[in-house]
Amino acid sequence: MTTEQTKFSVLCSLFTWTQRSKSAAKKRAKFRKFLDAFCIDRNFFPAVRLILPNLDRERGSYGLKESVLATSLIDALGISRDSPDALRLVNWRKGGAATGATAGNFALVAAEVLHRRQGTASGGLTIRELNELLDRLASGENRAEKILVLSTLIQKTNAQEMKWIIMIILKDLKLGISEKSIFHEFHPDAEDLFNVTCDLKLVCEKLRDRNQRHKRQDIEVGKAVRPQLAKRVANATEAWKKVYFANPLISVTYAPTKALVIHIPFHGYGTWRLRTYCNLHGKEVVVECKFDGDRIQIHKNGTEIQFFSRQGILVSTPPSLNFIDHSEYAHAMSEIIIQNVLVDRCILDGEMLVWDTSARRFAEFGSNQEIGMYFNMPRQQEMDLIVKDSVIHQTLKERHEILCKIVTPMKGRLEILVPNTGINSHLSSGEPCWSFIAQNVDEVERFFKETIENRDEGIVLKDRSSKWEPSDRSGKWLKLKPEYIQAGSDLDVLIIGGYYGSGRRGGQVAQFLVGLAERPSPNTHPKRFISFCRVGTGLSDEELDVIVTKLQPYFRKYEYPKKRPPSFYQVTNHSKERPDVWVDSPEKSIILSITSDIRTIESEVFAAPYCLRFPRIDRVRYDKAWNECLDVQSFIELVHSSNGTTQRDTEYGSKQYSKPKRMKSSTRGEKKNISIFTLTCADFANVPPSHSLESLHKIIVENGGTFSMNLNKSVTHCVAADSKGFKFEAAKHHGDIIHYAWVLDCYEQKKLVCLQPKYFLFISELTKKKLQEEIDEFSDSFYLDLDLEDIKKLLSNIRRSEDVSTVDHYRKKYCPKNKWKGDWYFILQLSLRRFKLEVLMGGGKVTSSLTSATHLVIFLVPGYRIDFEQIQSSFTSLERKFLQSKRLHIVKSQWLEDCSDSCERLPEDSYSLKPWGIEESTAEAWCFNIDIIYAFLTSAVTCNYGVMPRSWGHLH
């Protein structure tokens, strides 16, 4: 009998026996016995792929997790979604009197439901038939096709067999035996071959004879390689000791190189980055910044580029690694790789990072923006000499040298990070580098502190003479991350909900939804709590049981969407936030002290603006009352005062370091806080696509201001990007709404910029009254000059007339021949109004009496000239005597314009219209155009005569 003809029930018996056995040796022996007895044809792959489903790359993803699989099984069984069995499948995590011991284990819950419909008789399904059906399930393009396959499986199996099929679909058999043990029992070289190929089928086909050793295989372009891993250390001192006392590294002939760091953009932005070293009694050790992203491999074979990603699925130790072809990167990255990597065949392994094009820095992990990459592990080969010319056996130092030869840097797109060259060569004087050669533990400690301040993931130390080994975590590489040390602040939070667990915690609350208080008024208790994060690790089973027992009477089932959350909890109702039970009374709840990675991330799942990375419970605070938990405003202040972290004290030792802080941007340097927004509390109704809410909040807080997440009485400035949305409409009832450009202008100019009309998206009636002497009904300032952008914004505030006749009227009046026809009387009136304000605001006076004036300002239509005799003829005989007075200056309006521009009184001689050496009795009439003089006379009388501002000299 061949392997494929073997009944699946035989494999199920192996699974059941292995799961029940407690002896690891017996489990391995049973597996070996199965191979010898039922795989006589040595066609191992059909069976092994079912035993190690998480390593099978031949079959695509099923797209079925527990929730989707539950509804698919309900439809495959043809039962009502309101039936008890359907509800059991959907609510498989939840406990209760009717759930039994299977709660929390989806496969067992499904087996119970199927048992009442399938019975115990086997359907005789073979391994070959099962693999064919699973292939159809994975390739199914829609839900109907997948349900049809599940129906076929149900018809050909019993409940016990279906339970194991479900676990294969979920890729988690829970056999209690590691993949390492299975590989070792299958063939002594199986694990080594899989590590350099990630191809389970190839392993099964090449290693058919257990007694025949396989020549260690080199890596191969087109086949994903398990990356080398770094071992955790607790602190810099421990890392230094491990490097110092490490045994000499053994040369491994099959290990690929791990040499460089590259950043490649998803949309054309990013940088290549390579790594660093240190010398310790003759041993050079690489010390580098650990970047926070997704592990990625790029395989180049001529013009064919393939992308593989690593997914860490914690099935065994070390974690299982799955590589999935990422063809979606090809359109953005392939051309960059082809043009700038100068060898035809190579493998690059590294991290996929996010590049923020507006901030010109690497964004937080998980951000959805332009993508950059850093890559390691070049592999240089000739086209037809894949194994022979491989550089995988060379040291890190040698691989760095090769890297510099095969990669052409591309500024802003592709840069190499190596000591004293590449991106490090662009650093300005005194600016910290991304990598360096450390001489002692103090330098490592200092570098680690800088990465924490810069919100990087941590540091990595490597021996420069080391070789690269796939899937190795033996300590050749060491990593130090802030989450491994007690650096973050302990945060006291309140339990507001709970989640049922799985496995041995199935049917019981095993995780908690915790919240922060909304800051109450003085001498009062909090009335509302904001969802903050989900936490479950850190407590022993006994401690967890005590908490659950105390809160059990106050747990209330959350029947979403039939019922709403309690009114005293502010939540998002995001699917990842939604708890199984609520604590129905905050007064009866318990405070937990939680800690986490010191870096925070902007929250979309929870109601608080920020949530934690890798939160865990430090201790239970039975000594604190429910109302003593941390409030959300204090947490936000902590985050913004600590550069986006929960770190209250940036120092981990007694030494103070003054090395400049590294910024994640192209222009890096030390940042100084300036109190621009003192006494300012901002609320943002909406934000532009170019800026996140977090970045705007940070600008406000770092420059002395505060912000509010709600529109309340403490808000002094309501800010928005556009006049859309319900929050904008609500803000109009609060008062003025200011364009976010004002915040950016204040930040850029390092001062509180005066609120000009161009900054207002909405002006309240109260503000209009205050500004009525400064702006017109369209928010146009009488005294401030406008640029083109100001005019565009001004015109956007003017409602257009929909009356065609009105439009035609003004078109005929002002543009009869598509040319501007000036109504100069109207234009001169506007000029007079503006200059009147200029004089008044400059400290001068405007008078209607010629006898008390020191200056007579003449406004003329452009293109027309006038002399003193014409001016005299416009006045009475008595007034003409004052015109001839030496103390009265008669000047063109340009004098006033130039004085205003220069903010000082200018000499009147060059602007004077009074003839030189005129006698006071001189008077003579002239003929002139009455329309022009009328306009001039009206201008003279309306503008009147005024003394100049005090800044020019008090003349009156």
Query: Has residue 438 got a pLDDT over 70?
Result: yes
pLDDT in tens, 198-216: 889 999 999 999 888 888 7
As a whole number, the mean pLDDT across the chain is 75
Can you give the pLDDT at residue 320? 37
* Nearest C-alpha neighbor of 885 from the set 923, 835, 844, 933: 923
Q: How far is CA 589 from CA 94, 505, 532, 630, 923, in A?
A: 21, 21, 15, 14, 97
Pick the CATH number of 231-484 from 1.10.3720.10, 3.40.50.1000, 3.30.470.30, 3.20.20.70: 3.30.470.30
Can you give the pLDDT at residue 281? 44
Position 667, amino acid: T
Coil, strand, or helix at residue 335? helix
Which run of H or E residues covers position 529? strand 529-535
Position 673, amino acid: N
CATH topology of domain 491-641: OB fold (Dihydrolipoamide Acetyltransferase, E2P) (2.40.50)
Rounded-to-integer distance, Cα 405 and Cα 424, Å = 17
Strand order in the sheet with 855-858: 845-847, 945-947, 855-858, 889-892
Average pLDDT over residues 543-553: 91
| Banded pLDDT at 811 (limits 50, 70, 90) | low
Q: Which residue has the tokens 């002939």?
A: 253
Rounded-to-integer distance, Cα 121 and Cα 123, Å = 6
Can you give the pLDDT at residue 414? 72
pLDDT in tens, 371-425: 444 444 333 333 222 233 567 778 888 888 888 888 887 766 677 777 777 766 7
* Nearest C-alpha neighbor of 177 from the set 341, 312, 41, 52: 52
3-state secondary structure 606-653: CCCCEEEEEEEEEEEECCCCHHHCCEHHHHHHHHHHCCCECCCCCCCC
Can you give the pLDDT at residue 331? 67
The Cα diameter of the chain in Å comes to: 135
Structural tokens at position 469? 């080994």
Which run of H or E residues covers position 202? helix 200-206
Q: Which positions ≥6 away from 141 have C-beta within 8 Å? A: none
Neighbour count for residue 24 (Cβ, 10 Å): 12
Rounded-to-integer distance, Cα 900 and Cα 893, Å = 11
Q: Which positions ≥6 away from 816 have C-beta within 8 Å? A: none
Distance from chain centroid for Cα 16: 45
User: Which region among 153-167, 557-571, 695-709, 779-793 has the lowest average model confidence (pLDDT)?
Assistant: 779-793
What is the distance between the terminal CA atoms of the chain, rounded to a whole angstrom? Answer: 118
Can you give the pLDDT at residue 929? 27
Please name every residue paired with 499 in a beta bridge, in sequence order, or none if there are none.
511
Coil, strand, or helix at residue 707? strand
Please name every residue paired with 348 in a beta bridge, in sequence order, or none if there are none.
298
In the CATH scheme, what is the code of domain 8-206?
1.10.3260.10
Average pLDDT over residues 4-25: 92
More confidently predicted of 235 and 90: 90
Q: What count of Cα atoms within 13 Å lies in the side-chain half-sphere of residue 752?
A: 12
Query: Mean pLDDT: which of 159-168, 255-264, 282-291, 765-774 is highest?
Result: 159-168
750 a catalytic residue: no
Can you give the pLDDT at residue 274? 34
Structural tokens at position 125? 């399904």
Q: For residue 291, what is the DSSP state?
A: -
> In this structure, what is the dihedral angle of CA atoms 325, 192, 218, 258, given to the nearest 10 degrees?
70
Query: Has residue 187 got a pLDDT over 90?
Result: yes
Coil, strand, or helix at residue 923? coil
More confidently predicted of 278 and 723: 723
| Banded pLDDT at 145 (limits 50, 70, 90) | very high
Rounded-to-integer distance, Cα 227 and Cα 468, Å = 9
Can you give the pLDDT at residue 299? 86
Which run of H or E residues covers position 279? strand 279-280
Please name every residue paired with 299 in a beta bridge, in sequence order, or none if there are none.
306, 347
pLDDT in tens, 842-882: 778 888 777 788 888 888 777 677 788 888 888 888 888 78
Strands 610-621 and 591-602: antiparallel
More confidently predicted of 353 and 342: 342
> In this structure, what is the dihedral angle of CA atoms 487, 488, 494, 500, given to the nearest 10 degrees?
-80
As annotated, the residues of the chain forming the CATH 3.40.50.10190 domain(s) are 681-796, 824-952
Rounded-to-integer distance, Cα 745 and Cα 787, Å = 16
* Nearest C-alpha neighbor of 150 from the set 121, 113, 120: 113
Alpha helices in 299-360 (DSSP H): 330-340
Strands 706-707 and 681-684: parallel
- Angle among Cα 905, 911, 914 to the nearest 5 degrees reads 120
Can you give the pLDDT at residue 566? 92
Superfamily of chain region 824-952: BRCT domain (3.40.50.10190)
Query: Mean pLDDT: which of 400-409, 733-742, 770-779, 807-816 is highest?
Result: 733-742
Which run of H or E residues covers position 940? helix 930-943
As annotated, the residues of the chain forming the CATH 2.40.50.140 domain(s) are 491-641
Rounded-to-integer distance, Cα 309 and Cα 348, Å = 12
* Nearest C-alpha neighbor of 515 from the set 636, 629, 595, 639: 629
Query: Has residue 586 got a pLDDT over 50?
Result: yes
Q: Report the percent of the chain where pLDDT is more than 90.
A: 21
Give the long-range contacts of residues 328-331, CB within 8 A, separation 24 or more: 329/266, 330/305
Q: How far is CA 59 from CA 158, 197, 227, 296, in A?
A: 24, 16, 22, 20
Can you give the pLDDT at residue 910? 85
Q: Which positions ≥6 away from 456 have C-beta within 8 Å? A: 289, 290, 291, 292, 664
Selected catalytic residue, list 290, 550, 624, 661: 290
pLDDT in tens, 465-478: 888 788 887 777 88
Query: Mean pLDDT: which of 45-59, 94-108, 376-390 is highest?
Result: 45-59
pTM of the model: 0.57
Can you give the pLDDT at residue 129? 95
In the CATH scheme, what is the code of domain 681-796?
3.40.50.10190
* Nearest C-alpha neighbor of 718 from the set 699, 744, 742, 691: 742
Query: Has residue 945 got a pLDDT over 80?
Result: no
* Nearest C-alpha neighbor of 955 from the set 891, 878, 910: 891
Q: Which residue has the tokens 């995001």?
A: 574
Rounded-to-integer distance, Cα 643 and Cα 841, Å = 43
Strands 581-583 and 555-557: antiparallel
pLDDT in tens, 764-787: 888 878 777 777 777 677 777 777
3-state secondary structure 664-696: CCCCCCCCCCCCCCCCCEEEECCCCCCCCHHHH
> In this structure, what is the dihedral angle of CA atoms 949, 952, 954, 956, given to the nearest 10 degrees?
-70
Query: Mean pLDDT: which of 300-309, 424-433, 529-538 is highest?
Result: 529-538
Please name every residue paired with 381 in a beta bridge, in sequence order, or none if there are none.
345
Q: How far is CA 257 from CA 351, 484, 819, in A?
A: 15, 28, 73
Can you give the pLDDT at residue 641? 66
Rounded to 5 degrees, φ, ψ at 334 are -60, -45
Can you give the pLDDT at residue 815? 62
| Banded pLDDT at 912 (limits 50, 70, 90) | confident
Angle of helix 8-20 versus helix 24-38 axis, rounded to 10: 170
